Amino acid sequence: MVNLNTAPLVIPKRRVVKVGGVAVGSKDTLNVEMEKQSLSDIQYLLKEITYEDTEQQIRLDNPPTRVAVDNRENKPVSQAEWKTEVQFGQIIDHIMIRTVQRELINAIRRTTQERTGALQDIHNWEWVYYSKKGKRGVKVNPFKIEALPSGARLVLRPTSKIPYASWANMWVAKQGTDFTPSRGKNKGVTRTRNEGFMAQAIAKFKRSQFAKSYTMWVSFSKKYQTAGDTYPHGSPAITIMARRTRRSYRRRL
C-alpha cells in the first residue's frame, strides 16, 4: 500500500460518501500553496493517490476497467502530468441486497395466496455470481461479496424447491394488480398493471437512491432455468449490474 506520508505535500482533504454505512465514492481535494510547492511535487502526489486508490479497489476484487492519463488511455500513470481517471465497478452496499430480498417477498405476499409458504421463503431463492467473461455462474452469499466489478452480474433466481415460481409469476402478470400511485402526475389514480411479482419487486428499487449505482432488470432465461421448471422460456431472474464508478484526479493551477 502506498504511504502518502512520504509525499512532499500535506495529505489532501478527503470526503467519503457513504450509503448504508458503506463507502461508495470519494473525492480528494488538493490544497496547494504554489509559492511553496513545485509542479513536480503536485504531479507526484497525483500519481500516488491514483496508485493507492487503484490498489485498494483491487484488494476488494474490483479491478479497474479503464485507466486514462491526461485523457490518453495508452499513457502510463507514472507519466501523469495533470489528470488521471480510473473506472471501477461498485462497492456492494449490503443494504441494497436486503432491500431487493425484502421487496421480492413483499410483492409475493401481496399478489399470491399462501399455501405452503415456500414461494415467499427467501431461503428458497439463491444468488448466483457471473464474472464479466464467465459463462457459468457461482452460487454465492451476497453479503460476503465486497464489490461488483464492471460487467459482472449478480442474479437472484428461484431454487429447485420452488420450480413453479415461473408459472406463479406469469399468473400474477396475467391477472393484473391494482396500483394507486402516492405521488407524481397520476397520484391517487388506481390503475391495473400487468406485471409479475418480480417486476413489481424491482419497481420501487428503480426509484430509490440505489438506482444511481446499480441497474436492475427481470428476465426469463433458460440459462437460469431451475431444475423441475417446465415454463418454456426458462426461469425468471432478477439481474443486478453495477453502473461505472469513475475516480478522477486533476492538477489545478
Give the model confidence (pLDDT) of 67-107 as tens digits: 788 888 888 888 888 888 777 666 777 888 999 999 999 99
Name the nearest CA neighbour of 92 among 213, 3, 216. 213
Residue 76 has a CB neighbour count (10 Å cut-off) of 10
Q: Note the pTM of the prediction, 2 decimals.
A: 0.62
Question: Alpha helix locations (H) across 60-149?
Answer: 94-111
Q: Is residue 83 a contact partner of residue 71, using CB atoms and an 8 Å limit?
A: yes
Name the nearest CA neighbour of 90 among 247, 231, 238. 247
CA distance from start to end of the chain: 28
pLDDT score for 7: 41
pLDDT score for 8: 39
The residue length of the chain stands at 253
CA 56 to chain centre: 18
Q: Which residues contact 35 (CB under 8 A, 6 or more apart)?
A: none
Per-residue pLDDT band for 249 (boundaries 50, 70, 90) equals low
CA 240 to chain centre: 6
pLDDT score for 14: 46
Q: Is residue 140 a contact partner of residue 128, using CB atoms and an 8 Å limit?
A: yes
Task: Compute and round to an integer the Cα radius of gyration of the chain.
Answer: 23
Question: Above pLDDT 90, what percent of the chain?
Answer: 20
Residue 252 has a CB neighbour count (10 Å cut-off) of 9
- H/E segment holding residue 219: strand 214-221
pLDDT score for 177: 62
Q: Is residue 48 a contact partner of residue 7, using CB atoms and an 8 Å limit?
A: yes
All cell numbers assigned to 84? 488521471
Name the nearest CA neighbour of 138 among 54, 215, 211, 61. 61
What average pLDDT does this structure show over 212-231?
85
Regarding predicted confidence, which is higher, 78 or 35? Answer: 78
What average pLDDT does this structure show over 132-145?
84
